[in-house]
């Protein structure tokens, strides 16, 4: 889709900017203490929601929860078995007509653009885009093959750029949409044997902030929402074998529920568990040497020593949906 550049927002007087800063600061403090159950939530009935990595884990759970709220869900995943499992879950819940599945390797830029065009023709414009797909290598930097580093950055980071470029122009045209970035606390904290993963998640955090600024620049930040999600490690198998010394891994259903609630209440940032807000605040104020004993206390140096992760899956790409009304085949 061809994007027509939007007008730049006018510059406010300096005094007004200071007033707005403190107003939003106060608003944020108040909202921090308001439970999700008391917040107004938008209706997703009939909305087209695209989720990458929806064939397993929290992607699959989010797909099911959003469909139960009336959304039409488009799932992209490289794992054919995972897509089949998602279809079975939807069929068991009598929601198969709300699901469209496509098998794709989102590490390939042109494939993303081609499939995005196919989805627009078969399903329609996307209302909510959830960039969820991700991989982890789990090796020390010097033991990580270059191709694994590149693959991590393609899947975890670059795919976000291409997905947004594929679907944001239509959102701008309609002055409506929501882009969700599933990052991690690894986008603010550092650890061992995860250099490529940390780098990709730090990039996710920066990308979300830059995207928010560009939407504000064209005066669409109130129309097109962005949400960045930063969970602790989740018990989905992605970090199988890793051990946490002080904090248990999060349960997938709880994380998926919180993300769906956060999307519906249009939260700009979701941190799980919530007290990591304070860790982030502390880390930017203490001397860098303080990070070593703190990391040791939390078991950061041994967390990934027994890491196994998930088994490798096929990189063949083909697409299908529940109605079998279109295909796209790439090498």
Residues labelled as active-site residues: 197
- 116 CB neighbour count, 10 Å cutoff: 20
* Beta bridge partner(s), residue 234: 250
Burial code (b: 16+ CB inside 10 Å, e: under 16) for 192-214 equals: ebbbbbbbbbbbbbebbeebbee
What's the order of all strands across the beta sheet hosting 224-231?
99-103, 72-77, 48-52, 128-131, 177-182, 224-231, 269-272
**Helix pair 195-217, 146-153: axis angle to 10 deg:** 30
What whole-number distance in Å separates Cα of residue 256 and Cα of residue 226?
Answer: 17
What whole-number distance in Å separates Cα of residue 205 and Cα of residue 60?
Answer: 23
């Amino acid at each position: 889709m061809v994007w027509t550049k939007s007008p730049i927002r006018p510059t406010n007087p300096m005094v007004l900017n200071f007033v707005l800063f403190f107003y939003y600061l106060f608003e944020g403090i108040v909202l921090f203490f308001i439970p999700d159950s008391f917040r107004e939530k938008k209706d997703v009935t009939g909305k087209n929601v695209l989720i990458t990595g929806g064939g397993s884990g929290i992607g699959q759970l989010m797909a099911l929860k959003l469909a139960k709220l009336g959304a039409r869900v488009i799932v992209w995943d490289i794992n054919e078995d995972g897509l089949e499992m998602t279809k079975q879950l939807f069929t068991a819940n009598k929601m198969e007509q709300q699901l469209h599945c496509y098998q794709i390797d989102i590490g390939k830029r042109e494939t993303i653009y081609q499939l995005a065009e196919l989805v627009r023709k078969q399903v329609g414009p996307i209302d909510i885009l959830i960039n969820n797909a991700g991989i982890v290598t789990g090796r020390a930097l010097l033991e990580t093959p270059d191709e694994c580093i590149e693959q991590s950055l393609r899947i975890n980071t670059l795919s976000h750029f291409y997905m947004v470029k594929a679907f944001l122009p239509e959102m701008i045209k309609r002055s409506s949409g929501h882009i969700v970035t599933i990052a991690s606390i690894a986008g603010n904290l550092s650890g061992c044997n995860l250099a490529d993963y940390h780098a990709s998640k730090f990039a996710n955090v920066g990308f979300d902030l830059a995207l928010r600024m560009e939407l504000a620049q064209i005066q669409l930040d109130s129309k097109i929402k962005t949400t960045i999600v930063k969970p602790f490690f989740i018990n989905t198998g992605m970090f199988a074998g890793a051990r946490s010394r002080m904090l248990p891994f999060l349960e997938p259903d709880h994380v998926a529920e919180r993300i769906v609630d956060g999307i519906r209440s249009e939260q700009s940032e979701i941190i799980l568990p919530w007290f990591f807000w304070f860790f982030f605040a502390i880390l930017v104020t203490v001397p860098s040497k303080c990070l070593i004993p703190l990391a040791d206390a939390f078991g950061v140096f041994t967390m990934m020593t027994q890491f196994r992760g998930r088994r490798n899956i096929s990189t063949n790409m083909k697409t299908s949906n529940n109605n079998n009304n279109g295909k796209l085949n790439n090498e």
